Structure 1
């Protein structure tokens, strides 16, 4: 009887652990980004797929900038993601900033990208604003919201922002300058900064929204993802988090409720809602989103020589 009782206790504890696992979905912007002197575009796509599958990630979402599809190779890279079972989202055609363009120009660009995406499978009707620029005025945000609704699109928001794009630019700069690169230390910096960003925005959700939310991680379809996405996913899992499908993440009842009165969208949906609840902007931006901080971090870790 004691053995059965003990077994029941352990089962109950395990159930609680799994029931309370924090959840996060993986999304990649700007696909298909061009190749570089480090690796071709085709190799990059192959390595990202391989890294995700190696960690048993069943679904991820690639937000396509259709203007980046410049030839059949680019088209095949996008199709490779869908053949692997992943999904596509809408990230404009020319990667325009809505804060620097008119609503009519932006929606014209949106329509062009929407038409191109009709030629691909596994497309979700989710639009992610380039630069996370939702429009600098409420009037413009209202106009775009109506425009997206006419196409039956929802906003593909993020909850965890980070500067993976900046770290990637420093990597490519080092490659082009023929510097020596310590890839083990680079991996540590990449994984650690993104993980700390996840913790930062999760803490904001807990503090200001008083809820456990389904997070959406913003990454880019770049060389760092190709090199280290498997390591990043393994680290996230080691912290007790669960990787979920983007489709599931975007059903979060707290985060899915968008209104155009939200005027601080650059840091993602959690920060936008926290600001709406009264949080100061300065408290809603992680130190990992500071180029000087990242330069110092790369230097301290002897990544480039």
Structure 2
């Protein structure tokens, strides 16, 4: 009898056993002083997360949120049960020669002062642009500061480059082009699925296992519109969505690649450190997305 039941049980639970895992993270935030839709964007993203029963983490940068009402929007994430990390005050690129270590560390401290008393605050740092330093001094200097101040990992393993699709979303929204927006929704969801699959495949080649991933998105208009669709599609394609603390407990986030310049998706950086060939530049925009967009009926200017 057991011999007959066991295969049936394995068949029923196979999707759960094989499910890949990821957490959702959101960078930057929106500023009501410069974006009239900021409050609605923030509310809509939080509503999508609530509807889908997802707990996420947001990494605000003060230059993106502003220091007034924008910080109240950030606080709403904590009040809704999400985590709040640190994305610096000025969103500086640490790989630029003119950005000094002292200047950069001051920016982390300034952002922490504005965020640390919010519900949901957690000392995790996300590097702006995913750039972690163009010199050993800057790379190791920030790593040492974060360790000394008991910061935990804030890395990304899946870089979805949603910012590029957000640019198209705003263009079509300004034109009230409902047909183009519907096509863009399909293209965006396909893009998120493709990027998740790509980085998971790269992890399998690099680490020989599928880690608990952290997906990078932004607090922006396209996610306010289509985040729910993206979450549903991820689940339909075998992804189990976990909270950020669960994801960051994975051993992958203990790795500190020695690359210079440092940064990018952690999976990408580890693959580069191992000498994997054919890694495309991770900032995926028009040249990379042209095929996907055209497949969904969207023509992109060359």
TM-score (norm 1): 0.89
> Which of 105, 109, 112 in structure 1 is aligned with 2:110?
112
Instruction: Kindly indicate whether the alpha-carbon contact (under 8 Å) linking 2:56 and 2:82 is maintained by their aligned counterparts in 1.
Output: yes
Structure-2 residue corresponding to 1:258: 255
Provide closer, same or farther for how the CA distance between residues 115 and 35 of structure 1 changes in structure 2, counting only shifts above 3 A: closer
In structure 1, list runs of 5 or more residues that go unmatched: none
Task: Say which SS state the counterpart of residue 98 (structure 1) adopts.
Answer: coil
Structure-2 residue corresponding to 1:96: 92
Structure-2 residue corresponding to 1:168: 166
> Which of 56, 61, 70 in structure 1 is aligned with 2:66?
70
Work out the CA distance in 1 between the residues paired with 2:14 and 2:293: 39
Deviation, 1:251, is 1.2
Work out the CA distance in 1 between the residues paired with 2:112 and 2:42: 22
Structure-2 residue corresponding to 1:53: 50
Work out the CA distance in 2 between the residues paired with 1:84 and 1:270: 30
Instruction: Kindly indicate whether the alpha-carbon contact (under 8 Å) linking 1:24 and 1:249 is maintained by their aligned counterparts in 2.
Output: yes
Q: Does 1:292 align with 2:287?
A: yes
Structure-2 residue corresponding to 1:223: 221
Aligned length, in residue pairs = 297
| CA RMSD of superposed structures (Å) | 2.4
Work out the CA distance in 1 between the residues paired with 2:110 and 2:259: 27
Q: Does 1:157 align with 2:155?
A: yes
Deviation, 1:20, is 2.6
CA deviations over 1:180-226 (Å, ceiling 9, x no partner): 24222111011111110111111111112211211110001100110
Work out the CA distance in 1 between the residues paired with 2:67 and 2:76: 14
Deviation, 1:257, is 2.0
CA deviations over 1:32-88 (Å, ceiling 9, x no partner): 355888x7111111111111121121x101111123333543122112211211111
Work out the CA distance in 2 between the residues paired with 1:242 and 1:156: 20
Work out the CA distance in 2 between the residues paired with 1:304 and 1:62: 32
Task: Say which SS state the counterpart of residue 9 (structure 2) adopts.
Answer: helix
Deviation, 1:277, is 1.3
Q: Does 1:232 align with 2:230?
A: yes
Task: Say which SS state the counterpart of residue 56 (structure 1) adopts.
Answer: coil
Q: Does 1:268 align with 2:253?
A: no
**Match runs of 1:14-33 below 5 Å:** 14-33=12-31
Work out the CA distance in 1 between the residues paired with 2:190 and 2:257: 34
CA deviations over 1:238-275 (Å, ceiling 9, x no partner): 0111001111111111x122335133654300111111
Work out the CA distance in 2 between the residues paired with 1:179 and 1:298: 19
In structure 2, list runs of 5 or more residues that go unmatched: none
Deviation, 1:16, is 4.0
Instruction: Kindly indicate whether the alpha-carbon contact (under 8 Å) linking 1:134 and 1:141 is maintained by their aligned counterparts in 2.
Output: yes
**Match runs of 1:187-202 below 5 Å:** 187-202=185-200
Structure-2 residue corresponding to 1:213: 211
Deviation, 1:18, is 1.4
**Match runs of 1:77-92 below 5 Å:** 77-92=73-88
